[in-house]
């Protein structure tokens, strides 16, 4: 019995000593590969922030949601054999609140909106006349125009799928737990406001050279202005904030693209199904995906 008590005392003492010893030492780790918000106060950081606002676009155009949420359920699609995700065409019980496509739609578009909001705020406040990329107001306006064009695109995508959604146009300064749903009319109005603001920026080009291909251009914002006005103005009973001038506006901005963008219609309809690469080369029909 004495031996057991002695053993227990030694064990408790050892544990206490270990606890006291371990509490007096902490690992000091120096982070050398993690960027902070201060990075966005530099030229390189702001340029990377603008580029990062393009990343969520990939969700719209990659994966099976690209056709399921855009083509299914419309009068231009007919269900054939061996189709996946037909819930979007059949509207059966599989289309419900647990749908991963809807989650991806929400998450990716609001991630893009958040980056646009942060970029617009930081670039507007940035003041560095020696900056190569943002040293003049025209250069700052160019990047802000890009971000407003992207923000409009993200909201229009949400609008087409969900109707009215929360309008978040700034970066919250503290934790925000409530996001009231805006009306469909208000979201349409904001999309048009952003697109028209971008279109009015003189430094935004109609087209980019190959070095900057893929960025927002005047052609893009005018194209979407035509599409947004057409979509809003085509409502019959749904309240989208439509105006009597919407169709005239759709014609005007579509004509702007036709006349000023330098883009032309494809002469051969069959060529629409060729795979075009960034350098301009095209894969022959039947060899899509194989580089010539």
Structural domains of the chain sorted by starting position, each given as residue range(s) with its CATH number in brackets: 37-76+85-261 (1.25.40.390)
Q: What is the pLDDT of residue 174?
A: 87
Q: How confident is the model at residue 33 (pLDDT cuts 50, 70, 90)?
A: low
Q: Is the pLDDT of residue 164 over 80?
A: yes
Q: What is the pLDDT of residue 214?
A: 87
- The percentage of the chain sitting over the pLDDT mark of 70, rounded to a whole number, equals 84
What's the mean pLDDT when you consider all of the chain?
A: 84
Please tell me the pTM assigned to this model: 0.81
Q: Is the pLDDT of residue 204 over 90?
A: yes
Q: What is the pLDDT averaged over residues 135-155?
A: 96
Is the separation of the CB atoms in 54 and 214 below 8 Å?
Answer: yes
Q: What is the pLDDT averaged over residues 129-156?
A: 94
Q: How confident is the model at residue 4 (pLDDT cuts 50, 70, 90)?
A: very low
Q: What is the pLDDT of residue 67?
A: 84
Long-range contacts of the stretch 212-220 (C-beta < 8 A, 24+): 213/278, 214/54, 215/54, 215/146, 216/145, 216/146, 216/149, 216/150, 217/261, 218/260, 218/261, 219/257, 219/260, 219/261, 219/262, 219/263, 220/149
3-state secondary structure of 231: helix
């Amino acid at each position: 019995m004495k031996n057991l008590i002695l053993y227990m005392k030694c064990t408790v003492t050892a544990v206490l000593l270990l606890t006291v010893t371990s509490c007096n030492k902490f690992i000091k780790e120096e982070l050398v590969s993690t960027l902070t918000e201060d990075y966005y106060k530099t030229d390189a950081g702001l340029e990377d922030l603008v580029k990062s606002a393009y990343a969520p676009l990939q969700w719209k155009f990659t994966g099976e949601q690209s056709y399921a949420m855009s083509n299914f359920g419309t009068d231009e699609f007919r269900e054939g054999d061996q189709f996946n995700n037909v819930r979007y065409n059949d509207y059966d019980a599989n289309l419900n609140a647990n749908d991963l496509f809807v989650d991806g739609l929400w998450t990716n578009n609001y991630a893009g909106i958040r980056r646009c909001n942060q970029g617009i705020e930081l670039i507007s406040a940035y003041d560095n006349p020696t900056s190569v990329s943002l040293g003049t107001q025209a250069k700052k306006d160019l990047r802000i125009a890009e971000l407003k064009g992207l923000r409009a695109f993200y909201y229009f995508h949400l609008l087409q799928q969900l109707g009215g959604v929360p309008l978040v146009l700034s970066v919250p300064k503290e934790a925000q737990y409530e996001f009231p749903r805006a009306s469909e009319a208000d979201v349409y109005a904001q999309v048009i406001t952003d697109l028209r603001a971008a279109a009015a920026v003189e430094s935004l080009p109609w087209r980019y050279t190959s070095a900057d291909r893929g960025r927002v251009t005047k052609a893009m914002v005018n194209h979407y202005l035509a599409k947004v006005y057409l979509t809003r103005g085509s409502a019959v009973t749904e309240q989208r904030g439509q105006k009597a001038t919407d169709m005239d506006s759709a014609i005007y901005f579509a004509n702007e693209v036709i006349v000023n963008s330098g883009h032309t219609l494809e002469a051969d309809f069959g060529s629409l199904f060729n795979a075009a690469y960034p350098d301009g080369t095209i894969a022959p029909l039947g060899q899509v995906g194989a580089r010539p």
